[in-house]
């Protein structure tokens, strides 16, 4: 199967495809996200990767081995509306995209759990504000 034709129908298929280091990193980031969301929003496979959304898109976890990741190695953890987050610790990379801010991890040891958890919580608060402001739209 050519890379351009990849389509994962389940997380199992995704994890079977990924190299072991990316699978581990993706799993740890995914579990941290689910735990931090604490029942808020939903998860789906979008762009062939774990994608979390509530009123709008919240975040995604994009392993380098999946086509269109835009990274050469590791796993990208992106915030769809990163440009609207305070990110007081300057934890996220702004990159070329004006909206999606992200952090690329090469290993589980690089994850600063308290900081990432705070950024995820801030993204959830932002997502909740979309409902209040009446800005709910389908963009996932």
pLDDT tier, 130 (very low <50, low <70, confident <90, very high otherwise)? confident
Q: 133 is written with which tokens?
A: 């402001």
Q: Is residue 138 part of a domain?
A: no
Q: Is residue 17 part of a domain?
A: yes
pLDDT at 3: 47
> What range defines the domain where residue 41 resides?
3-132
Integer Cα distance of 23 and 25 in angstroms = 6
Q: What is the CATH number of the domain that holds 73?
A: 3.90.1150
Integer Cα distance of 34 and 47 in angstroms = 19
Q: Is residue 140 part of a domain?
A: no
Q: Is residue 137 part of a domain?
A: no
Q: Give the total number of structural domains in the chain.
A: 1
pLDDT for 26-39, tens place per residue? Answer: 999 999 999 999 99
Q: Tell me how far CA of residue 134 lies from CA of 14, 37, 90, 127, in angstroms.
A: 35, 21, 29, 11
Q: Which of 34-38, 99-103, 119-123, 130-134 has the lowest mean pLDDT?
A: 130-134
pLDDT for 52-110, tens place per residue? Answer: 999 999 999 999 999 887 889 999 999 999 999 998 889 999 878 789 999 999 999 99
Q: Is residue 43 part of a domain?
A: yes
């Amino acid at each position: 199967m050519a890379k351009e034709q990849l389509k994962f129908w389940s997380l199992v298929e995704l994890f079977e495809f990924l190299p072991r280091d990316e699978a581990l990193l993706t799993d740890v980031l995914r579990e941290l996200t689910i735990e931090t969301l604490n029942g808020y929003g939903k998860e789906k496979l979008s762009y062939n990767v774990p994608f979390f959304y509530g009123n709008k898109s919240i975040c995604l976890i994009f392993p380098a081995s999946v086509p269109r990741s835009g990274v050469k190695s590791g796993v990208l953890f992106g915030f769809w509306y990163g440009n609207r987050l305070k990110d007081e610790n300057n934890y996220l990379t702004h990159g070329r995209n004006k909206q999606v801010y992200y952090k690329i991890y090469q290993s589980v040891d690089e994850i600063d759990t308290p900081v990432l958890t705070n950024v995820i919580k801030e993204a959830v608060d932002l997502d909740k504000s979309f409902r209040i402001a009446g800005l709910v739209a389908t963009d996932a």
